[in-house]
């Protein structure tokens, strides 16, 4: 190495000096996970917003590097892509979902979301798919645009806006019929109404459509399907013609089946899946976002003392159904329903994916290349390779041997800028 060049040895400091943002940056970590495989003896070189080299150290002439970052014990990997967040929600043990929707002003919710966006980015989430504003209108669209314009720090956001529900099938509910309450999503039914509502959401510049394919409105309070097969097909047809995907909340096998046949891109939750459901998901190339951490958090908010009390039946069933999804070879999206638990604690979902039987390197693929492929952004992010945007994180240790190493964030780089060091 030529001594004439600045050698920056990584230490945890609060502020990122302005001159650290300039020039060509060369990163020499112990390991590089490129979104698919782990490599050693690699360097990754960033110029302006992009990765200009990623490969064997011998293949790049260091004399061109303005700064060299020696990261002896670190793993460099693509910035993580959270697949299921609600930036406008905060943990339900702080305030119930009903009270957030009914009592918090939109200003308060947006103020909280600004903090949530920053916390997510600092935790290494450089892209986040946000699955519905839950009663906060199109605030998610405005937050996404504010991040893109550099007004506030945060991940690249893909947002759903209001999300779509069938009449009678969403909350807050349980009020006298004379009381008009604001819903956590937008109601629409039947062909004409669905066409109009999907188009109006598209017109507000959402990135994709979120639909609730089932809801806890069965006669005994259990989940049951909401939209008919043809209603779901209508939603997908209209969204698709604008180049947008549809994602479906679905917990029951019936709602999952309808959503898969309608052509949604991912199924969220999927607790009640059967072997047939998973087979259908494979045949139609639909991925599962299992949201393990949300169910776990809600059980704990309900009084379960994890590690002390016996595991609730719901958690045991979820563990089993996730294992079956892995066995069936269903594509697994990384998405935890963060917001139910604190924004910035996204790694909790990845830890649970591994705890429930997934290989750590598969979990890492889900959080990087697989989510990028699923969300149609693989031309920009999700892998460390030449030409990609420089969204990367460095962590102490090796997350393929211990997924919790993702908590030991050393550096977060978004769009070629070091945003945490
Ligand atoms: Zn959700």
Q: How far is the CA of 297 from the centre of ligand 1 (A)?
A: 13
Q: How many C-beta atoms lie closer than 10 Å to residue 14's C-beta?
A: 6
Query: Around ion ligand 1, which residues have CB less than 5 A away?
Result: 131, 337
Q: Do domains 6-79+381-420 and 80-345 have the same CATH topology?
A: no
Q: How far away, in angstroms, is 397 Cα from ligand 1 center?
A: 31
CA of 86 from ligand 1 middle (Å) equals: 6
Cα of 289 from ligand 1 centre, angstroms = 10
Q: What is the helix (H) or strand (E) element at residue 7, kind and residue range?
A: strand 6-9
Q: Report the separation in Å between the CA atom of 325 and the middle of ligand 1, taken as the mean of its atom positions.
A: 19
Domain range annotation of the chain: 6-79+381-420, 80-345
Using the mean position of ligand 1's atoms as its centre, give its distance from the Cα of residue 362 in Å: 23
Question: What distance in angstroms lies between residue 316's CA and the mean position of ligand 1's atoms?
Answer: 20
Distance 84 CA to ligand 1 centre (A): 6
- Cα of 160 vs centre of ligand 1, distance in Å, is 11
Identify the three-state secondary structure at position 308. Answer: coil
Q: List the pLDDT tens digit at each of the 421 positions of the chain.
A: 333 344 444 444 344 555 556 789 999 999 999 999 999 999 999 999 999 999 999 999 998 888 999 999 999 999 999 999 999 999 999 999 999 999 999 999 999 999 999 999 999 999 999 999 999 999 999 999 999 999 999 999 999 999 999 999 999 999 999 999 989 999 999 999 999 999 999 999 999 999 999 999 999 999 999 999 999 999 999 999 999 999 999 999 999 999 999 999 999 999 999 999 999 999 999 999 999 999 999 999 999 999 999 999 999 999 999 999 999 999 999 999 999 999 999 999 999 999 999 999 999 999 999 999 999 999 999 999 999 999 999 999 999 999 999 999 999 999 999 999 8
What would be the CATH architecture of the domain defined by 6-79+381-420? Roll (2.30)
DSSP per-residue letters across 63-114: GG-SEEEEEEEEEEEEPEEEEEE-TT---TTTS-HHHHHHHS-HHHHHHHHH
Helix (H) or strand (E) holding 362: helix 360-365
81-113 CB burial, b ≥16 within 10 A, e <16:
bbbbbbbbbbbbeeeebbebbeebeeeebbebb
How long a stretch of residues is the chain? 421
CATH 3.10.20.30 at 80-345, yes or no:
no
List CB contacts of 230: < 8 A, sequence separation 6 or more.
191
Q: Cα of 337 to ligand 1 centre, how many Å?
A: 5
pTM: 0.95
CA of 78 to the centre of ligand 1 (A): 24
Tokens coding 15 = 């502020």
Dist. CA 131 → ligand 1 center (Å)? 6
């Amino acid at each position: 190495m030529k001594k004439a060049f600045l050698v920056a040895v990584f230490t945890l400091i609060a502020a990122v000096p302005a001159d650290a943002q300039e020039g060509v940056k060369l990163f020499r970590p112990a390991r590089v996970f490129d979104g698919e495989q782990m490599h050693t003896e690699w360097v990754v070189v960033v110029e302006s917003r992009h990765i200009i080299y990623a490969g064997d150290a011998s293949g790049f002439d260091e004399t061109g590097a303005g700064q060299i970052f020696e990261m002896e014990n670190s793993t460099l990997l693509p910035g993580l892509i959270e697949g299921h967040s609600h930036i406008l929600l905060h943990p339900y043990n702080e305030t119930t979902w009903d009270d957030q929707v009914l009592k918090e002003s939109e200003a308060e919710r947006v103020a909280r979301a600004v903090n949530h966006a920053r916390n997510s980015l600092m935790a290494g989430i450089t892209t986040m798919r946000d699955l519905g504003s839950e009663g906060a209108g199109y605030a998610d669209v405005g937050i996404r645009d504010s991040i893109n314009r550099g007004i506030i720090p945060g991940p690249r956001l893909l947002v759903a806006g209001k999300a779509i529900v069938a009449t009678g099938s969403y909350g807050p509910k349980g009020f006298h019929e004379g009381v008009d309450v604001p819903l956590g999503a937008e109601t629409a039914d039947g062909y004409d109404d669905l066409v109009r509502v999907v188009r109006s959401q598209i017109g507000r510049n959402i990135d994709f459509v979120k639909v609730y394919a089932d809801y806890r409105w069965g006669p005994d309070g259990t989940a049951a399907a909401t939209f008919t097969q043809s209603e779901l097909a209508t939603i997908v047809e209209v969204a698709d013609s604008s180049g947008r995907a549809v994602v479906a909340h679905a917990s029951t096998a019936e709602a999952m089946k309808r959503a898969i046949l309608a052509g949604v891109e991912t199924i969220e939750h999927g607790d009640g899946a059967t072997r047939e459901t998973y087979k259908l998901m494979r045949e139609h190339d639909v991925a599962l976002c299992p949201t393990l951490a949300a169910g776990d958090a809600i059980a704990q908010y309900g009084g379960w003392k994890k590690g002390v009390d016996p595991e609730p039946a719901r958690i045991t069933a979820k563990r089993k159904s996730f294992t079956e999804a892995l066995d069936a070879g269903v594509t697994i999206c990384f998405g935890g329903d963060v917001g139910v638990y604190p924004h910035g604690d996204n790694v909790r979902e990845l830890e649970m994916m591994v705890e429930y039987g997934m290989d750590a390197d598969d979990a890492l693929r889900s959080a990087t290349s697989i989510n990028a492929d699923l969300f149609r952004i693989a031309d920009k992010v999700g892998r460390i390779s030449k030409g990609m945007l420089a969204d990367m994180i460095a962590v102490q240790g090796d997350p393929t041997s211990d997924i919790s190493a993702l908590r030991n964030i050393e550096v977060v780089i978004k769009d070629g800028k070091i945003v945490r060091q």
